[in-house]
Amino acid sequence: MKKILIIEDDQTIGEVERDYLEMAGFEVTLAPNGKVGLTIALAEKFDLYILDVMLPEIDGITIAKKIRESKDTPIIMVTAKSKESDTIRGFSIGIDDYVTKPFSPAELVARTKAHIQRYETLKRISKEDDHDRIEIRGLLINLDHRQVFMNGETIELTPKEYDLLTLLASAPNKVFAKEEIFQKVWGLDSDHDIPTITVHIRKIREKLEFDASNPEYIHTVWGVGYKMVK
């Protein structure tokens, strides 16, 4: 049984999330605030974390940062905000997805299932793949250790940034449509979340490219998607 940790200070919302996830077959732990939640998150092993952004004592962003220091387990953020700056902040520290209040509990369950399945698939492929690296000019991706290097220097990427970069690099010069990228990297079919890809591409370029405004590796194919240029 897959284990989920919910950190939510609104008891009603937390209990609804817990009930729906338990009905879907998950084992759920519900923490009432950030301090308790962070202690549990670091002490136990979970298959996915659901964090409210606005929490007493320790906020969700801080908790996500702490989790990312040692784990690449999927994280879904729950927020009352919908500004792009808030989502960019979350993605930049390594969250995998976000839902904005009010949201459908059934949608949260669907996203939870998709992220866990995607995470397990990527782990399995990484173990089974005989080719343990991808090299494109000065770019080196170590698939076994999920590490990225540019001209010998380590590039720090979030889990989703790594997955997106690896997808593009796995088929150089192939144009990936945004819908295909979202389905393969996030494991979801959702048109309204397509801008999420744009945010991640921008962050990857800022870390990877010498000049992010004039990229040499990841090119935009206007009206379609993106490709990795070999």
- Which tokens in the block code for residue 195? 């801008």
Please state the rounded mean pLDDT for residues 66-94: 81
Write the pLDDT tens digit of every residue in 109-156. Answer: 999 999 999 888 777 766 555 468 898 988 999 988 899 998 888 999
Q: Quick check: pTM over 0.75? A: no
Radius of gyration of the chain from its Cα atoms, rounded to whole angstroms:
18
- H helix runs in the chain, sequence order: 11-23, 34-43, 60-68, 84-92, 105-128, 159-169, 178-181, 195-208
Question: β-strands 97-100, 3-7: how paired?
Answer: unpaired
Write the pLDDT tens digit of every residue in 156-205. Answer: 999 999 999 999 999 999 999 998 998 889 887 655 567 889 999 999 99
Dist CA 26 CA 18 (whole Å): 9
Domains of the chain in start order, with CATH, are 3-123 (3.40.50.2300), 130-228 (1.10.10.10)
Q: What is the overall mean pLDDT for the chain?
A: 89
> How is 48-93 classified by DSSP, letter by letter?
EEEEESS-SSS-HHHHHHHHHTT----EEEEES---HHHHHHHHHT
